[in-house]
Structure 1
Amino acid sequence: MDHLVIKPASQAEEQQEQDEILVERAKAGDQEAFGELVRRHRAKVYGYARSYTQEAFLAEDIVQDALIRAFLHLGTLVDSRRFLPWLHRIVRNQAYTRLKKGPQTKEQVFSGLTRQPSELEATDWEDLDSILHRLGRNWSASVENNGNPEELLVRRELFETIKSLLHCLNPRERRIVESHFFDHLAPHEIAHLFEMTQANVYQVLSRSRKKLMQERIRVVVDQYVKTRKDAGIMKQAVLRKPEAMKQPTWITCGAALYGLVEFTERKLSLPAVIGLSGHAFRLTVVPKNIHIAGPTMFDFQSVLEEGLRNMGFVPRSVCQGQLDGTPGPNATFVNPTLLSSAAREKRQLPALLPQAIELIHSSLDKGCPVLAWDLFMPEFALIYGYEDASKLLHAGDNCNNDAKIPYEHLGRGLIEELFVLAIESTLPIDQRTMLANAIATALKHYRTQEGPSDRYVNGLAAYPVWKEAFEKGSVEPNGNAYTLAVVHDARNNASRFFAEVADAWTDESLDGVRPQLKEAAALYRTIAEDFNKLVQLFPFPSGGEPNEPATAQQAIQLLSVIESNEGLAVSLLEKIHAALTAN
């Protein structure tokens, strides 16, 4: 007689059977069953989302959106045994949508004021207008009484979230916003109801939207910190204070880059970092007045990331609001209150603040500080620690600033630009390649191939513009003095960099260019000495008398000599680069 052998079900099969039961219960309206499905699989789908993006914050957003969609469309799942693959597909679609759209989705004004989206239009969960219109369109007594229980729960939760955001509005703004989005009143009806003009209604709605967007960013940051707490990774991480904060250089981005590099295994001197990143060769001036912003008027993201790649590092950055080519206010002359914490609180929160905080956490958790712009003043600094509980950053620079800064102060400085940069990883690279990369970067700048603007001029083309400002007597003393101090320091570091490479770098393939490197070091030393004469003539911060005719002529003569020597330096760099890249 044959015996029937019953094999025990595997753990995976048993879980699939339990999932199938939970899915069927959830389809029937059992909210706890769906909650159990989420509890079982949330970690898996989060890991799946992280396979598409390394940003924890973005992955969390993708998962949240996917779960909402799964909740709303669970009834469309035909095969209940396929719940996890179905959920994975939703996550994948959400990831593709978010990554294609990118982090800097352009904000719109109230585009929906003149029309309501149709029932067939998809909701953009990143756009406040779209969310509000969906809620206002769907929230009614009939939906609450007759709607699908699962969809009703999600709608109610979203509705309550948006309603909580409305607390950032004053009573009048809130009543107008609620009248438009939740009571479906048109602007002309609201104008009649509140005894105001229709133009004023548009103004109130536009202003309210900005407030709501700001509040949403705060909520997202709070949720991000709460997620870290729930995951058991909410903590305090403070590195040692970077030695870069003690470096006496006017090139604050060079000091900050040095601070990043010093926490890696690739040990480089400050002149080497400034040289390899290309900042030893930079010159940018603002036509007519030589504004103080000149030395920092460059695309932070492309220039600083290129500098790190020259040294064999993989960079990662978050950038918003930079660079439109317009010089910002001179921090030397503004009312000191505009540089205060209170002033930062009044400025707009950058939309990419959560991504910036996530990058800071990621880098510091790996033991590397983060370069940041305008933490104390419009210069570069380093973030070397964080405290999640108090939402504070430990930061400092080489200008004697060292303090704790609230998370929400990032990107809210005088210039209102957000920029943070970190080293993601290190790649193998030899000395010859690093040097060739650096010289290529220098030559590109000298030839003004970075994207010239009518608001600033860089490289060799800056000298005629600079001399013209002296000829016309339109030089702003403080900005001119600062520009001279930075460029003098840069050329000093160029000289030291080439001397170090010629004398101390051990790569034997450099032997053929060592005489030329020593020649370059001597030539940049001469250039630096002439710039020093100008620095003595126009000391920072007072700036001397650049528009006094005799002094201006003296400056023009010195700049002409420097311009000629810079031309010789470019020719020499071209020869060195050709030798380094020859097969």
Structure 2
Amino acid sequence: MERDGYGLNAAGTAAITERKEQIEHNDRLAERARLGDTEAFGELIERHRNRAKGWAERMTGDPHLADDIVQDALIRAFMHIGSLHDASRFLPWLHKIVRNQANMRLRRGGRFKREKPFAAFETRQADAGDVNWDDLDSILSHLTRSATNAAACKEDPAEHLLRKELYETIRSVLHCLNRKERAVFEAYFFKQLNPEEIAAMYQMTTGSIYTYIHRSRRKLKQEQIRVSLGLHPKKEGSLMVKRKLLELAEWPPEAASSFTFVDRIGHMLASLGDRRETSELMGLSGFAFRMQISDKTTYADGIYMFDWRNALSALMEAAGYDAAMLCGQLSDSPVPLLGAVERFPVVLPIEEAVIPFIRKSVDSGKPVLYFDTSAMRPYVHEWSLIYGYDDESKLVYLTDAMQPEGKTMSYEEIADNPVRFLAAASRREAAPSSRSETEKQRRKAALEAVRFAVSYARNSRAYCPMTSYLSYTSGLAAYDRWIEHLRRGPASPPNRYGLGQLAAVYAETKRYAAAFLRSVPFEGEAMRLVLLAAEAYEQAGEAIAAVGDIVPFVRTAEIVPPDTSEACAKHLEIAKTFEAAAIGYLEKSIALYGEELSP
């Protein structure tokens, strides 16, 4: 058998080479993650999640607790990846975070190393003869009475009052569990049986028991919030069960846009009997003329960086509607797109805070615009429409950009969305306008859209988040920022996924800009200049589309090679030239015809 100079055969040499390549790839991912590449961080986690769980399980001896520890550790790793100074030390750094989280959980659990068993609470056994020790409600009632009596006769009743409150809370929140969930919960948390023992008791798989425990934890957390707010515990049959599905208007592929904020609004209006061209909505809203690039790298988040509430209100007003909105962010979850939602209020992850809004809107025949942070690949998050709900199965029905047939989400998933944004539209009653008045309004709206296109193109900081480490470049300067990211070199390659989505979205918005400009009611030389601008936007869109052809919009953490980056940069230089020409034509058009069109 052939061996190399170190006494290794070919298979051994190949294994060492493969191992070395894996380490180098891991280090590259860690370095990109340290610089803020979320896709690289996601691939790192997929590679090392099982290893992290193994660390946590060896420390705790409890697979379920290990899952919780790893989840907490990964959130902290994501939030502090920038503090990792040496990318080659990612695994030791992650191991330290897991170890710290495990130690924290073990300290909280005392000698039991998880939730304290019910038997650990010392209580006076007064009047214990009438207690049914096989019935949890009976036990809790007895313990509450015991704590009350102890509080009355002890010199320091504070501790017993706290216990009384604990027992009452437990008794209240357990009503949210169904019979099987409650049985599994009692066996695990109160009787301290392990999942394998519970699985054998109920003739279920161990995996199913873990699912029940996880589901019970989430439901109890939400129910505890309800109790603390003074809401009545939910009891089976206490609410009238309803189910309603709206029939959405047909939305053909040629009407759809990859800029789903405006796309979903167009579909929502069409479902209310008001079908409008997507190009009209894109132009009047100004989104046909926007382009925004992160100052960090080619992330796709610049697409979403605008004032969601004001943008929706303005677009609805232009279309003759009022918008009712429900928005917020959860306090205990990593919030995506923080720069866009940082001004949203902190909200609670309970169904009562969001499901009534959906019921009311759907019952009145109005689909709900919804920001979905669990969109299907290749998307990470996108806008959708909720068009139905089912109280019995506790599901909502909604669209998904990648699934023509739509999908369902549970009430719990809707409430747990770290970004809460829902909106419904109501038609505004307007006095009938004469034909001349309608035409005047069209001219005015078109002039405002053209003026916006020019002012936005000249503004390199159209949107500035309060969060200091987030910044974006907009308008024509966004091209320069985009090209700069592509030409940084191998040491700081562009974000592959974001590059593909940016190209897909902005190639399309430029084409919508061209379509909108061709429809504006200008006349004479002003209209000729607008048509030249439309043609230039069309050419800009084609140049950006060429970038999308080179780097398609797919979910991947692959690195963009330098020659590919350079090819993309050259297409973007062409696109900038055409858009700059378009803005020049629009400025001349406004100068020629603007005064005549003004009211």
What is the CA–CA distance in structure 2 between the aligned matches of 1:142 and 1:534, rounded to whole Å? 74
> Is 1:405 the counterpart of 2:409 in the alignment?
yes
- CA 529–379 in structure 1, closer or farther in 2 if over 3 Å, else same: same
> Is 1:425 the counterpart of 2:416 in the alignment?
no
CA deviation map 1:185-236 (0-9, x unaligned):
xxxxxxxxxxxxxxxxxxxxxxxx9997632456789969989976x7x532
1:540 alignment partner, SS class: coil
CA contact (8 A) 1:166 1:174 kept: no
Which residue among 358, 361, 365 is the counterpart of 1:360? Answer: 358
Ranges in structure 2 where 5+ consecutive residues have no aligned partner: 1-143, 153-163, 191-216, 330-334, 431-437
> Is 1:499 the counterpart of 2:518 in the alignment?
yes
The number of residues matched between the two structures is 375
C-alpha displacement of 1:501? 3.5
CA deviation map 1:297-319 (0-9, x unaligned):
43433333333233232112112
Matched letter for residue 536 of structure 2? L
What is the CA–CA distance in structure 1 between the aligned matches of 2:415 and 2:427, rounded to whole Å? 25
What is the CA–CA distance in structure 2 between the aligned matches of 1:534 and 1:227, rounded to whole Å? 56
CA contact (8 A) 2:279 2:516 kept: yes
1:480 corresponds in structure 2 to: 499
2:530 corresponds in structure 1 to: 517
CA contact (8 A) 1:242 1:384 kept: no
Ranges in structure 1 where 5+ consecutive residues have no aligned partner: 1-135, 145-155, 176-208, 329-347, 503-508
1:539 alignment partner, SS class: coil
1:472 alignment partner, SS class: coil
Which residue among 236, 243, 252 is the counterpart of 1:236? Answer: 243
What is the CA–CA distance in structure 2 between the aligned matches of 1:363 and 1:569, rounded to whole Å? 42
CA deviation map 1:246-273 (0-9, x unaligned):
4443222222111111133543112222
1:79 corresponds in structure 2 to: none
- CA 364–143 in structure 1, closer or farther in 2 if over 3 Å, else same: same
1:462 corresponds in structure 2 to: 478
- CA 360–519 in structure 1, closer or farther in 2 if over 3 Å, else same: farther
2:288 alignment partner, SS class: helix
CA contact (8 A) 1:241 1:384 kept: yes
1:369 corresponds in structure 2 to: 367
> Is 1:318 the counterpart of 2:321 in the alignment?
no
1:418 alignment partner, SS class: strand
2:203 corresponds in structure 1 to: none
What is the CA–CA distance in structure 1 between the aligned matches of 2:387 and 2:314, rounded to whole Å? 22
> Is 1:289 the counterpart of 2:297 in the alignment?
yes
> Is 1:254 the counterpart of 2:265 in the alignment?
no
Q: How does 1:50-199 map to 2 (within 5 A)?
A: 163-165=171-173
CA contact (8 A) 1:165 1:215 kept: yes
What is the CA–CA distance in structure 1 between the aligned matches of 2:369 and 2:304, rounded to whole Å? 14
What is the CA–CA distance in structure 2 between the aligned matches of 1:386 and 1:369, rounded to whole Å? 11
2:512 alignment partner, SS class: helix
CA contact (8 A) 2:369 2:385 kept: yes
CA contact (8 A) 2:443 2:597 kept: no
2:403 alignment partner, SS class: coil
CA contact (8 A) 2:511 2:538 kept: yes
2:52 corresponds in structure 1 to: none
CA contact (8 A) 1:298 1:323 kept: no
1:244 alignment partner, SS class: coil
RMSD: 4.6
CA contact (8 A) 2:375 2:401 kept: no
> Is 1:559 the counterpart of 2:559 in the alignment?
no
1:391 corresponds in structure 2 to: 394
Which residue among 510, 535, 548 is the counterpart of 1:535? Answer: 548
C-alpha displacement of 1:290? 0.6
CA deviation map 1:131-183 (0-9, x unaligned):
xxxxx9xx967999xxxxxxxxxxx9999578513789989x999xxxxxxxx
CA contact (8 A) 1:252 1:380 kept: yes
CA contact (8 A) 1:308 1:315 kept: yes
Deviating more after overlay: 248-257 vs 297-306:
297-306
What is the CA–CA distance in structure 1 between the aligned matches of 2:403 and 2:558, rounded to whole Å? 29
What is the CA–CA distance in structure 2 between the aligned matches of 1:228 and 1:523, rounded to whole Å? 63
What is the CA–CA distance in structure 2 between the aligned matches of 1:400 and 1:224, rounded to whole Å? 36
- CA 517–261 in structure 1, closer or farther in 2 if over 3 Å, else same: farther
2:125 corresponds in structure 1 to: none
CA deviation map 1:59-91 (0-9, x unaligned):
xxxxxxxxxxxxxxxxxxxxxxxxxxxxxxxxx
What is the CA–CA distance in structure 2 between the aligned matches of 1:367 and 1:327, rounded to whole Å? 29
Q: How does 1:197-346 map to 2 (within 5 A)?
A: 214-216=222-224, 235-244=242-251, 246=253, 247-321=255-329, 325=338
What is the CA–CA distance in structure 2 between the aligned matches of 1:440 and 1:225, rounded to whole Å? 54
C-alpha displacement of 1:442? 4.3
- CA 541–210 in structure 1, closer or farther in 2 if over 3 Å, else same: closer
2:322 alignment partner, SS class: strand
2:412 alignment partner, SS class: helix
- CA 213–382 in structure 1, closer or farther in 2 if over 3 Å, else same: same
Matched letter for residue 409 of structure 1? E
Deviating more after overlay: 482-491 vs 348-357:
348-357
2:481 alignment partner, SS class: helix
CA contact (8 A) 1:244 1:398 kept: no
Matched letter for residue 382 of structure 2? E
C-alpha displacement of 1:285? 2.0
- CA 404–558 in structure 1, closer or farther in 2 if over 3 Å, else same: closer
C-alpha displacement of 1:359? 2.4
CA contact (8 A) 1:278 1:441 kept: yes
Scaled by the length of structure 2, what TM-score is found?
Answer: 0.52
- CA 552–527 in structure 1, closer or farther in 2 if over 3 Å, else same: same
2:518 alignment partner, SS class: helix
C-alpha displacement of 1:514? 3.7
What is the CA–CA distance in structure 2 between the aligned matches of 1:389 and 1:551, rounded to whole Å? 52
- CA 376–398 in structure 1, closer or farther in 2 if over 3 Å, else same: closer
1:487 alignment partner, SS class: helix
What is the CA–CA distance in structure 1 between the aligned matches of 2:389 and 2:219, rounded to whole Å? 27
2:463 corresponds in structure 1 to: 450
Deviating more after overlay: 251-260 vs 238-247:
238-247
Matched letter for residue 432 of structure 1? R
What is the CA–CA distance in structure 2 between the aligned matches of 1:395 and 1:228, rounded to whole Å? 26
CA deviation map 1:368-396 (0-9, x unaligned):
21111115341111111122333221111
Matched letter for residue 258 of structure 2? W
C-alpha displacement of 1:240? 1.0
1:479 alignment partner, SS class: helix
- CA 534–318 in structure 1, closer or farther in 2 if over 3 Å, else same: same
